Structure 1
Amino acid sequence: MAAPLLEKLSESLGSPEPAVRLILSVLIGYPFALVYRWFLFYQPSTVIHLFHICSGLALAAFNFGSQLYHSATCVFVQFLMLRLMGRTVTAVLSSFTFQMLYLMAGYYYTATEEYDIKWTMPHCVLTLKLIGLAFDFYDGGKDPSKLSAEQKKGALPSVPTLLEVFGFSYFYGGFLVGPQFTLRSYQRLVARELTDCPGKPPNSAIPAMKRFALGFLCLAIYAIFSPYYPDSYFLTDDYEAQPFWYRCVFILLWGKFMLYKYVSCWVIAEGVCILAGLGYNGVVDGKHQWDACANMKVWLFETTPLFGGTIASFNINTNAWAARHVFKRLRFLGNKTLSHVATLLFLTIWHGLHSGYILCFSMEFFIITVERQAQALVRDSPLLTNLANSHLYPLIYVVQQFIHWLFMGYPLVPFCLFTYDKWLKVYSSVYFCGHVFFLVVYLSLPFLRTSLVPKKERSEKKQD
């Protein structure tokens, strides 16, 4: 009965059935959260864990059928590693190796040349959860004085139970599309600590509905505009026949609307976490905060003219996870650039095995490097600083925003087209303009610094 209904719904929406199943699964998190608040909030932790496990498994079965055994296997193996290996480096390395190899094998055996919604999609979210769990368990055995503030918040003081690990892994608010959160946060949720009313369900309905409304608006924008900017158009003769300026503007608009696919899912899922209480983040300036599970800063995403600003506003929890468990733990290398490269390499492999991911993240690293050097030039140059603060700034902002969104869409082309024959065709059609632009800027910056920065300030910078 459900299958024909889903077929009709997907046809009427013009979306693939797996995509319809996914968005319905994210939306059904709201009823699940209400059931928890109304009927299970005061129940023993065992009952709450079982509810989260059963609801998460139901979502997995609805989307991926019998393939849910992949996630169940990895969760159980992770639990065994914690129990049998204890708080050791061996346990962390074993967890990292096993979970990443399992994910890589999944990518290898299910890979196609298109973006498919299959069991590996939520599994990449789960992989980070389980690796993070191993790190947090290891941190729980260290001297607290040797832990950072972030590590203290996530460190596990005791061995988690099987129900806790499965409940944490399958929690309906984060199983399919994220966000990332720690087992310690999940334990606090079950213990009724994540609330603005001690001992009572949180007053989070209005904050949750605000995120739902915003996410639904983003989903509507994506549904309305994305059919006009399909990935497949890049590979047509019609695209290649268009003028150069048209091809560039198409990349800009395509990149902008394509990202709403991710924005909408993350913001709607965040609303589920807020409604359940997991989004509670304490009190700041007398106001209760509900942003603990925020994966998007939508206003920053829409208004920033900086590439760094977009990255800071996008997929926040995953970036924070990578910073906490990869970048900062590579401090022993003694080189931030090397740590940054290693972190991006990890994220590249985590996303998949296609060459497009490598090109996307390497381009991101180069763009951010150039942007930081350009920002330093503006700060150090009195002329450029005055210009940036002058009445001409609105015009500068418009130009900067155009460049920002044009070259934000540019690295996303290989990210979405995957294989080199496809992204190479598109990049050739626009004459590798993104690579040329940033290479020219990068090579020009030293000469601009020589001419625009006073000699005294240049020498001070060298001494620093």
Structure 2
Amino acid sequence: MAADLMEKLSGYLGSPEPAVRLILSILIGYPFALVYRRYFFHQSPSTIHLFHTFSGLALAAFNFGSQLCHSAVCIVVQFLLLRLMGRTMTAVLSSFLFQMMYLLCGYYYTATDQYDIKWTMPHCVLTLKLIGLSFDYYDGGKEASQLSAEQKKGALRTVPTLLEVCGFSYFYGGFLVGPQFTLRSYQKLVSRELTDCPGQPPNSVFPAMKRFSLGLVCLAIFTVGSPIYPDSYFLTDDYEAQPFWYRCVYILIWAKINLYKYVSCWVIAEGVCILAGLGYNGQDENGVYQWDACANMLVWHYETTPLFTGTIASFNINTNAWVARHVFKRLKFLGNKMASQVLTLLFLAVWHGLHSGYILCFSMEFIIVTVERKAMALVKDSPLLTRLSVSPLYPLIYCVQQFVHWLFMGYPLVPFCLFTYDKWLKVYSSVYFCGHVFFFCAYLILPYLRMVLVPRKREDEKKEE
């Protein structure tokens, strides 16, 4: 009967049943958080772990049925690795290899040529959680002087129990779509430390409802816009017959709408974390309580920044922070920042899946960010460009810059969403690989522009620095 009801609901909404189940599961997090606040906040840690474990398992069963066994296997194996191998680099490497190989095998055996909501979707979130857990446990065995400020916050001084790891892994606010958070943060939640009212549930209902409302607006934009600008249109003869400018503008609008699929889920899930208390982030310098510890999106900054680096900094924040903390910064031993960046982006591409589109997307991101940083350095060093950036002409410059930003933000998203070589190559060919041409030409031209626009004296001073 429940299956028939879901089938009717998905038909009424005009969305695939797995997508309807997913969004309902994220929304169910709010009643779960209210139950936690009302009945479990003052209970023992073991009782709270059980509540979080069984609520998360219920969501997993609702979405993926018996395939929830995959998450259970990985959680148990991770616990055993911590217990049996202890605080060793061998345990960290074993955890990394096992969790990543399990995820990649899942991708391999369930892969299709389109976006599917299946057990590998929450499992990629879980993979980072469990790998991060091994790093944090390893860091807990070091002296405080050997750890960075970030590592100190996450370091685990005692080995967690299996029940604790299950509660952390299945917590309903982060199990399906994130955000990433450490076991130490989860432990603070369970011990009632994450509240603005000591000993009482936090006053977080209003902040949670604000994120919930914003998430619904983002979801409405995607729901209304995605049928108008579908992925499938890229592969039609009609798209190829359109003028070049139309094809480019379609990519721009399609990307803006399509990204709201992720934005809406993350913002709604953040509201669940805030309601439960996990989003508590202390007070700012003015004594105002902050609820952004689980913020995965800075929506206003995301919409207004004209910079690609600004978009990256405001999008999927917790995952980017996890990768920076556990991959990029731990590759410092290579002694080469660019090599660390390349390997970090390669890790992100593989973590997303085995399709060629992911590799192309993140390689394009690397090229775009490299060019943008060179361009920003040129503006800073050139007196003429610096004056233009603060002149009355800047609003016009901003509009042009924002158009270029939005257009080429959508450009790498094409292979990311179309996955396979035959699809993204068809689209890129139809727009004459304009993104690659633009950024490769910019990369080659920028040194000559620097020679013309930057006074030799300033250039010499910079080299001396």
Range of TM-score over shorter length: over 0.9
AA partner of residue 46 (structure 1): S
The separation in 1 between residues aligned to 2:252 and 2:189, in whole angstroms, is 41
SS of equivalent residue, structure 1 residue 288:
coil
Alignment: residue pair count: 464
Moved runs in structure 1, 4+ residues, more than 2 A?
A: none
Provide the identity percentage: 80
Match of 2:265 in 1: 265
Aligned to 2:312: 311
Cα deviation for residue 313 of structure 1 reads: 0.4
TM-score w.r.t. the length of structure 2 is: 0.99
Equivalent residues in 2 for 1:2-81 (5 A)? 2-81=2-81
CA distance in 2, matches of 1:187, 1:31: 21
Tell me the alpha carbon deviations over residues 351-407 of structure 1, each in whole angstroms, 9 at most, x when there is no partner.
000000000000000000000000000000000000110000000000000000000
Q: Which amino acid aligns with 1:120?
A: T
2:323 counterpart of 1:322: yes
The TM-score with structure 1 as length reference comes to 1.00
Distance in 1 (alpha carbons) for counterparts of 2:453 and 2:163: 62
Equivalent residue letter for 1:329 = R
**Matches of 1:145 and 1:279, distance apart in 2:** 28
Q: Which residue of 2 aligns with 1:453?
A: 454
Query: What is the one-letter code of the residue matched to 1:66?
Result: S
How far apart, in 2, do the equivalents of 1:151 and 1:198 lie? 26
Q: Structure 1: how far apart are the matches of 2:387 and 2:189?
A: 50
Offset of 1:213 from its aligned partner?
Answer: 0.3
Following superposition, the deviation at residue 99 of structure 1 comes to 0.1
The offset of 1:160, in angstroms, is 0.2
Amino acid at match of 1:95: S
| CA displacement at 1:6 relative to structure 2 | 1.1
Amino acid of the residue matched to residue 268 of structure 2? I
CA distance in 2, matches of 1:336, 1:207: 38
**d(CA) in 2 for partners of 1:282 and 1:362?**
37
- How far the C-alpha of 1:440 sits from its partner, in A, is 1.1
Report the secondary structure of 2:158's partner residue: coil
- Deviation (angstroms), 1:114: 0.5
1:134-162 CA distance string (max 9 Å, x none): 00000000001110010000000101001
Q: Which whole-Å deviations, capped at 9, do the CAs of 1:80-121 have from their partners, x for residues lacking one?
A: 000000000000000000000000000000000000000000
Question: How far apart are 1:463 and its partner, in Å?
Answer: 2.0
Deviations 1:168-199 (A, max 9, x none): 00000000000000000001100000000111
1:426 matched to which residue of 2?
427
Q: Helix, strand or coil for the counterpart of 1:28?
A: helix
Secondary structure of the residue that 1:227 maps to in structure 2?
coil
* Deviation at residue 201 of structure 1 after TM alignment: 0.4
Superposition deviation, residue 419 in structure 1 = 0.5
Kindly report which structure 2 residues correspond to 1:14-413, keeping only aligned pairs within 5 A, or say none: 14-285=14-285, 286-413=287-414
Q: Which amino acid aligns with 2:86?
A: G
Partners of 1:52 and 1:387 in 2: how far apart?
55
Counterpart Cα distance in 1 of 2:331 and 2:442: 30
Q: Distance in 2 between matches of 1:291 and 1:439?
A: 38
Deviations 1:236-273 (A, max 9, x none): 00000000000000000000000000000000000000
Alpha-carbon shift at residue 3 of structure 1 (Å): 1.2
SS of match in other structure, 1:117: coil
Counterpart residue identity of residue 239, structure 2: Y
Pairwise CA distance, 1:50 = 0.4
Which letter maps to 1:208?
Answer: A
Letter in 2 for 1:331: K
Structure 1 position 320, deviation (Å): 0.0
Q: Residue 423 of structure 2: SS of its match in structure 1?
A: helix
TM-fit CA distance, 1:5 = 1.4
The CA distance in 2 between the partners of 1:145 and 1:281, in whole Å, is 24
Gaps of 5+ in 2: none
CA–CA separation in structure 2 for the residues paired with 1:121 and 1:462: 47
CA separation in 2, counterparts of 1:356 and 1:461?
A: 39
